[in-house]
Every structure is written in structure tokens, then in C-alpha cells.
Structure 1
Amino acid sequence: MGGKYRVTGNAYPRMRPPKRRGRFVAVLVAAVVVLGLFGWGAVQLFHVFGGDGGKSTARAAPSRPSCSPSASPVASKPLALPQPAHVTMNVLNATTRGGLAKTTADQLAARGFKVAKFGNAPDPYNAKVAQSALIISGPGGEAAAREAGTQVVGSTVTIDPKRKGSTVDVLIGNAFAKLATPTQAAEARVTAANPPAPKQSCAPQD
């Protein structure tokens, strides 16, 4: 070949296309995504065959009563009831029957009780006592109130924490017929002096 330029040497240059780095990066990202999908699928299969359905839920054990077999309720201490001569009471008629307060007060006085006064019950109780009698006293007269309650079958004793002194109010109710017999009063006195033991309560144990 003639001309100004000549090719010298025994090696010919090779013409190569330019490197395409964008395609290489795309292939690498696709490979990473595929591997991630395979890993996620493997984890899901593990949960499915493990039997928890992909969820792990902690179940609390059922609570059991914390009652010890050897534990027993503590019996209440016997209540020392006073003699009738040491019980001062007011006999009040809470019914519509006239003269009932005086008649009952005379009978209770004959049994040795001290009757301070008798008459009609005040408005909050007048004609509103359904049982045979309602015995009311303060904390200082609880024993006297329970002794008075032995004289009327079916009576109810109520302790008013705000009340002072030991005087007892005996409110005769609509169900009242007559005072208890001596035998009934003696039996009621045993029950009143020995209140039942409180029931044992079992608290749930976590």
C-alpha cells in the first residue's frame, strides 16, 4: 500500500465495543432480588410446616385458686352478751297498730330489760319495717343489740357506725306477732353469741 501512512509491526489492533456497565448493574440487582424472594419463601415454608401459621402467640396459663388445702377459716370469737338488766332500750312502734309499743315495752321490762322510752318510730322507719323487728345501735351497743334481738324471732340487728352510746332502739315491724318464748330466746342467744366464721375466699393465682 502506498501513501503517506503505513502500518508497521506484526500485531493488528482489535476493535472492541465499549463496556456496558449499566447492563451489569441491572443483572446484579435482579440476582439480589431473586435471592431475597427465595429466602423469604423459605422462611414462610418453615413457619407453615412448624404449625404456627406464621404467627407466634403466647397463651397464658389458666389461673388457679390460691387456696391452700391446709388453710381453714378462722372462727370468730364468741361475743359476750350482757344480761337483760344491762341493756337499755327504746321500744318504737313502726306499724299502724296502736298501742303496740307500750304492750311490748311492758313485756320486755318484765323480762328484766331497762326501757328508757316507748312510742312511735320516727318518719324514716314509720310503716317501713317489713320484718318482725329492726334492732339499731352504735358500735358500743352491739352486744346489747344482739341480746335484744334474741327476744324477737326474725329480727335484724343493724350497727350504725355514727351512733354514740350503748342504748338500743327496738323498732317493731309489720311481721311482728309476739315476743319469743324463753326457749326460742335461749336458742337465739347461743347463735348471737357465736357468729358464723367468715367464708374463705380464693383469689385467682396467675
Structure 2
Amino acid sequence: MGGQYRIKGDKYPRMRRRRRRGRLVAAAVASVAVLGMIGWGTLQLIDLFTGGGGKASAAGTKAGCGTRATPSATPTATGPLPEPAKITVNVFNATTRSGLAKQTADELKKRGFKIGDVGNATKQFDKKVKGTGLLLGPDSALDTSLPVLATQLGNAEYRAEAARKGTAVDLIIGDKFKGLTKKADADKALTALANPEPTPGASKRGC
């Protein structure tokens, strides 16, 4: 070679291009690492917002095992269910429409329920039940008689009264009452109540 680079002995001139290649390789490795971290972070976010918090949900469920929520419109029962013929129902009218208590009591009697007292609601509930109805009973009825009666009146709230004595339950007719659930639908609800289907994904072990 002539000019600036002249070979002397067994030594050769260093070419700076090798350093550039090293830098390019290092930059490529760093880019791959950054992209990998971004991808991992994205997966974590997707997992978080699409159900990856299952462990937290399960923990929350276990923590709430001892809490009894207010019964929903869908009847549920955990104990042995009594037959309608073994349930005494008091029917009270809390609305301004007359005759509802007797009409409802007669229909419940046709469906196999025993009928107790029939009349107007007490001052505590008169004109104060805004929904279709309110079902009341003793603590022992919360998971037995009340859910059975609730199959006859859709969207009715039901709850237990700790100080209540006896086994009879009350059906207090509310402002949105338009009649009992159609018998065919009530029978289906009663059958489903007696033979509940397992909830998909639910744990086989109870609280």
C-alpha cells in the first residue's frame, strides 16, 4: 500500500470501521431489549384489564364469605325447601288500591299456600312500599320459606326480622304491584330453586 498507510514488518494499520460495527451491534441488542420490555409490559397490562386479577378476586371472595348480602330479586335458598302447603302467608295491602290483598291471597291459596291474616298494611309499611312487594319472615325463613314465596312475586324484596316469632311470613303489596307472577313462570322458578344449576367456574368447596 502506498501513501498514508505503509506496511512495515508484521503490523497492519487499524481500521476504525470495526468500532462502528461494534456500536451497531450494541445498539441492535439494546433495541431488542427495549422492545422486549415494552412487549412484556403490554402483556401485563392486558392481563390486568382482562381478568388477570383472578387471584385478587378469589381472595376478595374468601374474605367476604362471612357476609350475607341483601337478597336479590332472584330467589336463592341454601336450606331444605318447604312445600307451599307448609308455608303460611299473611297478605297485606300497602297501596291505595282496594281489594288487592284478598285477590292475592285467593290466588296464593289456589297455588297451594296456606293463608293467614289478610288486610291493610300497618302504619309502618302503609304507602311506603315502592316496589312490587315486600316479603318478611323470621330468621329461619330467610333461606327457606321466603325464597319459595318470592317465586310467586317477581322483583320482590325479602328479608328477615330478627325479633319475629313464629313461622308465618308476610307478603306486603307495594305500589308497583300488577299481580303475581304467572303460574307457569312461578312453577319454573320454584323448580329451578329446588334444583339449582352449579355456577360455571364456581369453587366446589364452600366457605
Instruction: Give the aligned partner of residue 153 of structure 1.
Output: 154
Query: Given the superposition, is the C-alpha separation of residues 191 and 174 from structure 1 closer, same or farther in structure 2, using an over 3 Å criterion?
Result: farther
Instruction: Give the aligned partner of residue 83 of structure 1.
Output: 83
* Conserved 8 A contact 1:105-1:118: yes
Instruction: Give the aligned partner of residue 17 of structure 2.
Output: none
Instruction: Give the aligned partner of residue 112 of structure 1.
Output: 112
More displaced, 74-83 or 120-129? 74-83
* Conserved 8 A contact 2:88-2:167: yes
Larger radius of gyration: 1
Instruction: Give the aligned partner of residue 130 of structure 2.
Output: 130
Query: Given the superposition, is the C-alpha separation of residues 124 and 98 from structure 1 closer, same or farther in structure 2, using an over 3 Å criterion?
Result: same
Q: Would you say how many aligned residue pairs link Structure 1 and Structure 2?
A: 135
Shift of 1:176: 0.5
Larger relative contact order (CA 8 Å, sep ≥ 6): 1
* Conserved 8 A contact 2:77-2:147: no
- Backbone CA RMSD of aligned residues: 3.4
Shift of 1:154: 1.2
Query: Given the superposition, is the C-alpha separation of residues 158 and 192 from structure 1 closer, same or farther in structure 2, using an over 3 Å criterion?
Result: farther
Instruction: Give the aligned partner of residue 170 of structure 1.
Output: 171
Deviations 1:34-70 (A, max 9, x none): xxxxxxxxxxxxxxxxxxxxxxxxxxxxxxx994798
Deviations 1:137-188 (A, max 9, x none): 0112221111111101111111112212211000000111011112321343
Unaligned runs of 5+ in 1: 1-64, 201-206
3-state DSSP class of the match of 1:184?
helix
Unaligned runs of 5+ in 2: 1-52, 66-75
3-state DSSP class of the match of 1:134?
strand
Query: Given the superposition, is the C-alpha separation of residues 69 and 163 from structure 1 closer, same or farther in structure 2, using an over 3 Å criterion?
Result: closer
User: Identity of counterpart residues, as a percentage?
Assistant: 34
Query: Given the superposition, is the C-alpha separation of residues 191 and 84 from structure 1 closer, same or farther in structure 2, using an over 3 Å criterion?
Result: same
